Structure 1
Amino acid sequence: MLNDFWETAPAGYKYAVFAGMGLTFIGIVIIVLGAVTTTPAMTYIGLPLIGVGLLAHMASLGLRGRNIRKEMKAAEKRSAEKEALKHRKA
């Protein structure tokens, strides 16, 4: 059980992480382009993209936490069952 989390992560987590990174990157690029071309409208277009990207990252953290809690609960259950079998044999 020494796998890297990314190998065992659910697909929803991976999609949320990449969507968050992509939207944040696009928002930053639009803001930089707006600043270079002195177009304030582009800055206002880029800000919501960054916000949605950050929300996607927060959602991915929630998905990851839920998956880890589920795996920990399953591991505790297996451990308890193993202990119960050990005590029955003794």
Structure 2
Amino acid sequence: MLNEFWATAPASYKAVVFSAMALIALGIAINIFGQTAKNEALSFASLAVIGAGLLLHAAGVVIRGHQVQKRLRNSSRKG
């Protein structure tokens, strides 16, 4: 059951995970562009985008933890 979490994960978890990955990747791309263009403001702005991605990642961990706890509680009541 728990080994196949992605197959049974809620859509909200999947959306948060993919959004987090996209924001982190976008932030890295913006940072690389800012560094190559020697644009310090753009490089610092990319840190906010990466930070938002990391916050979404943390939210995904919380969502996953709640779902696992719920499944464990339900399986212990059945057995």
TM range (shorter): over 0.9
1:70 equivalent to 2:70? Answer: yes
Q: Give deviations 1:5-61, integer Å, cap 9, x for gaps.
A: 100001111011000000000001001111011010111210100000000000000
TM-score calculated relative to the size of structure 2: 0.95
Distance 1:59 1:2, change over 3 A: closer
Q: Which runs of 5+ in 1 are unaligned?
A: 80-90
Identity level (%): 39
What letter is aligned with 1:55? L
| Distance in 2 of aligned mates of 1:13 and 1:2 | 15
Distance 2:5 2:12 in 1: 13
C-alpha RMSD of the superposition: 1.2
Please identify the structure whose Cα radius of gyration is greater: 1
Give the TM-score normalised by the residue count of structure 1: 0.84
Runs of 4+ in 1 over 2 A off after TM superposition: none
Number of the residue aligned with 1:14: 14
State the aligned residue count.
79
**Structure 2 stretches of 5 or more lacking a match?**
none
Shift of the 44–2 alpha-carbon distance from structure 1 to 2, 3 Å rule, reads: closer
Question: 1:3: Cα distance to partner?
Answer: 5.8
Distance in structure 2 (CA, Å) of the matches to 1:16 and 1:54: 11
Q: Which amino acid aligns with 2:64?
A: R
